[in-house]
């Protein structure tokens, strides 16, 4: 209803939409802002790049980058950091690295973003090397730096390095580990099979473990088939009053895999009694620069009828191939490609 809107007006509402996870609506508002001849500033573009990161929409992210370059917008350190984060989270790690190394000036956030990007893509040793370069540049790491570093060790299975940096964080840099750091360590130890050590670490935590910490341990229990500790974790979560559907489904699946049907039914009953519903996962696919979202049994897409028809044809083909007594080599290869 405002008769006149300036850049602050637009930024305020775009920021609110981003905070609420309404990324598509934020992008639509950005387009309306451009049409209204209000020139976006750093704050606007940082929010828009954040939308692209959360949606994983590389095509849209590239458009935002092209807009920055095409309008001769001065790229600040903050904007550079957002570009790096966007490209990394959208899968274009090499582009993110190129922007990072091309920056004339880097702050702590710049290093944190690239360490986190390397961690996300499973380049643990490269993340550690980047951390060393950060230290050599004279910048002091903060707690977020170590979250990225420990995450990198976890994703790459570098257990000893993770233990080393977890200790270094407090002994050398005076940073007290927070819940996020403990969650990374529990995940690291759990993935490595050191479930007993992970349990001991949780017991020694100066802060109360949250659902992320317990979730990391529960995931490790499923990997290594440790149902006894898994049951103890669920008891802790019930005592905390936490009813995270994913954790209950995880434990239910563990019982199912062990053919403990009575225990599985008990978990399902707890979920039903507490009104816990399994969250539906959303998948995204990018085709010709357009991002499409869908869920299981989703019929909302404009071409859903055609999609399901094609899927049925593929399934019929697979069934005919598998039931055929003599297989043609070409059919076998085609079947494998489809699978």
With a cut of 50, which residues of the chain have pLDDT below it? 325-327, 329-339
pLDDT in tens, 146-173: 999 999 999 999 999 999 999 999 999 9
C-alpha pair distances (Å), 134 with each of 24, 91, 114, 172: 36, 23, 11, 15
What does the chain come to in residues? 339
| pLDDT at position 289 | 63
| pLDDT at position 244 | 63
Q: Is the distance from CB of 57 to CB of 90 less than 8 angstroms?
A: yes
| pLDDT at position 72 | 80
- Point out which residues pair with 284 in neighbouring strands: 293
DSSP type of residue 56: T
Q: Is 73 helix (H, G, I), strand (E, B) or coil?
A: coil
Q: Is 291 helix (H, G, I), strand (E, B) or coil?
A: strand
| pLDDT at position 338 | 40
The domain limits of the chain are 1-97, 306-339
Q: How far apart are CA 75 and CA 325, in angstroms?
A: 64
| pLDDT at position 240 | 66
Instruction: Work out the angle at residue 90's Cα, subtended by the Cα atoms of residues 84 and 95, and round it to the nearest 5 degrees.
Output: 45
Q: What is the pTM of this model?
A: 0.76
């Amino acid at each position: 209803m405002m008769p006149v809107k300036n850049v602050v007006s637009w930024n305020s509402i775009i920021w609110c939409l981003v905070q609420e996870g309404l990324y598509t609506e934020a992008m639509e508002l950005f387009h309306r802002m451009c049409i209204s001849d209000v020139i976006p500033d750093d704050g606007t573009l940082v929010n828009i790049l954040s939308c692209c990161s959360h949606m994983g929409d590389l095509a849209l992210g590239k458009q935002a980058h092209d807009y920055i370059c095409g309008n001769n917008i001065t790229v600040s350190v903050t904007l550079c950091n957002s570009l790096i984060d966007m490209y990394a989270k959208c899968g274009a790690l090499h582009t993110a690295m190129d922007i990072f190394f091309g920056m004339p000036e880097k702050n702590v956030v710049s290093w944190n973003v690239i360490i986190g990007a390397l961690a996300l893509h499973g380049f643990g040793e490269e993340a550690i090397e980047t951390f060393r370069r950060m230290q050599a540049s004279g910048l002091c790491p903060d707690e977020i730096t170590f979250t990225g570093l420990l995450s990198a060790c976890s994703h790459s299975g570098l257990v000893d390095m993770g233990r080393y940096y977890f200790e270094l964080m407090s002994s050398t840099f005076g940073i007290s580990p927070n819940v996020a750091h403990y969650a990374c360590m529990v995940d690291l130890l759990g993935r490595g099979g050191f479930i007993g050590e992970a349990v001991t670490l949780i017991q020694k935590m100066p802060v109360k473990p949250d659902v992320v910490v317990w979730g990391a341990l529960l995931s490790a229990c499923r990997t290594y088939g440790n149902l006894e500790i898994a049951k103890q974790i669920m008891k802790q979560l019930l005592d905390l009053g936490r009813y995270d559907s994913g954790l209950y489904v995880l434990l239910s699946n563990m019982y199912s895999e062990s053919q403990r049907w009575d225990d599985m039914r008990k978990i399902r009953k707890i979920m039903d009694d507490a009104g816990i519903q399994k969250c539906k996962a959303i998948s995204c696919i990018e085709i010709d620069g357009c991002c499409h979202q869908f869920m299981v049994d989703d019929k909302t897409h404009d071409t859903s009828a055609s999609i399901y028809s094609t899927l049925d044809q593929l399934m019929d083909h697979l069934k005919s191939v598998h039931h055929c007594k003599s297989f043609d080599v070409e059919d076998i290869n085609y079947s494998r490609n489809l699978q």
